[in-house]
Chains A and B, each alone.
Chain A
């Protein structure tokens, strides 16, 4: 059974710091991995999608990497800003059912 874990559960950093969020999964047979951002009480916004054949994807200050063999992905946020404060979720897609299996998220607070 696929399990997805995110560490740390919560993180507080001062503005301007570079930071890394971690996501690990137990079954490497995935189609892709998607990183989402969730603001309090709001929906999920897709940040980055990494296909299983890719090693990394970049969008602005965000860079996501994928190491399928070790079952790990990281989300790197450069020069963090207070507006980056949110919960970050990773999810892996497996099988023909297109099902997403989510981690429980990392709550990020960027202090001004």
Chain B
């Protein structure tokens, strides 16, 4: 089954404690990205990757890091989490070709609470 898998689904952590949210896709997609969803602000892109070893900032990259060492994995790293990073996070993947039938697939989300 084609899917994007995120882990963990829920996470409560303390300010300053480094954490990683993993994302894996089994569709051989080149393009992967991370979004955060906040009430009243909708979904905003954090980082994206066009392919292995190619990453770039989205709209709200501050406080986050990513890496893309393998095509299927795109972890999101919070080196020193702060309470304003409490949010619902989504990983997404799609074919890397910028064509009209490119469809995005999303993971189930990770609800992060930073206290």
Within 8 A of A (CB), among B57-93: 58, 88, 90, 92
Please name the residue on chain B nearest to A6 by beta carbon. Answer: B42
Interface bin, chain B: 20 to 34
Contacts of A53 in B (CB 8 A): 100
Q: Is the CB of B102 within 8 A of A31?
A: yes
Q: Is the CB of B103 within 8 A of A34?
A: yes
Judge whether B45 is part of the interface by a CB distance below 8 angstroms: yes
Judge whether B25 is part of the interface by a CB distance below 8 angstroms: no
- For A105, give its contact among B33, B42, B106 (CB under 8 Å): B42
Q: List 25 A-B contacts (CB under 8 A).
A: A31-B99, A32-B100, A32-B102, A34-B103, A34-B104, A41-B109, A42-B109, A44-B106, A46-B104, A52-B100, A89-B42, A89-B43, A93-B104, A96-B98, A97-B48, A97-B56, A97-B98, A98-B96, A98-B98, A98-B104, A99-B33, A99-B48, A100-B35, A100-B43, A103-B42
A residues at B contact (CB < 8 Å): 31-32, 34, 36, 41-46, 49, 51-53, 89, 91, 93, 95-100, 102-105
